[in-house]
Amino acid sequence: MKSTLLRTLTITAAFACIAFAAKISTDYDHSADFGRYKTYSWMKVQAKTSLWQDRIVRDVDSQLQARGWTKVDSDADASVAAFGSTHDQRTLETFYNGFGGWRWRGFDGGMATTTVDVTKVGTLVVDVFDTQSKKLLWRGSSTDTLSDKAEKNEKKLEKDVTEMFKHFPPKPRG
């Protein structure tokens, strides 16, 4: 019985780690020549507070500048927009105690307790547009669970933005 319980707890912990890992995705215009984009400016940043807006700009700027792009105030090759949001994700967990079973008149003997867990989840979407045509060139998105501590969330943001821009700019297809 202890072996079964230990195995169940291990599997549950593994699924919890998977469920709470950041989900990063990117997409881009496969016909765009990213080699011609050298400068960018910000169009808009929207987040819950100006603190988070500044953090998003800082982390995205860091990634773009590390890839040779230069931030300018006007006449940029590309324009960047970002949107950050949070929502509550509810999960039902049911725990069974006792070893009830089916009897002639139905289920008997066991007890079940169901609880609702609420997890705060943050989402960030970053878009890069061609400034002249206003055409979307690239989109990155990240969804991650949030902590009650701002410092932890700030580190998650930095890590997720770094992962989001890992393969930016996309290599030309050929």
pLDDT digits (tens, 9 = 90+) for 1-29: 444 434 443 444 444 444 457 899 999 99
Q: What pairing do the DSSP bridges indicate for beta strands 106-108 and 101-103?
A: antiparallel
Domain-located, residue 30: yes
pLDDT digits (tens, 9 = 90+) for 93-107: 777 665 555 556 555
- State how many domains the chain has: 1
Q: Which domain holds residue 156?
A: 22-164
pLDDT-derived band of residue 138, with 50, 70 and 90 as boundaries?
very high
Domain-located, residue 134: yes
Domain-located, residue 109: yes
Residue 152 sits in a domain whose CATH number is: 3.30.160.670
Domain-located, residue 10: no
Residue 156 or residue 5, greater confidence = 156
- How large is the C-alpha radius of gyration of the chain? 23
Domain-located, residue 172: no
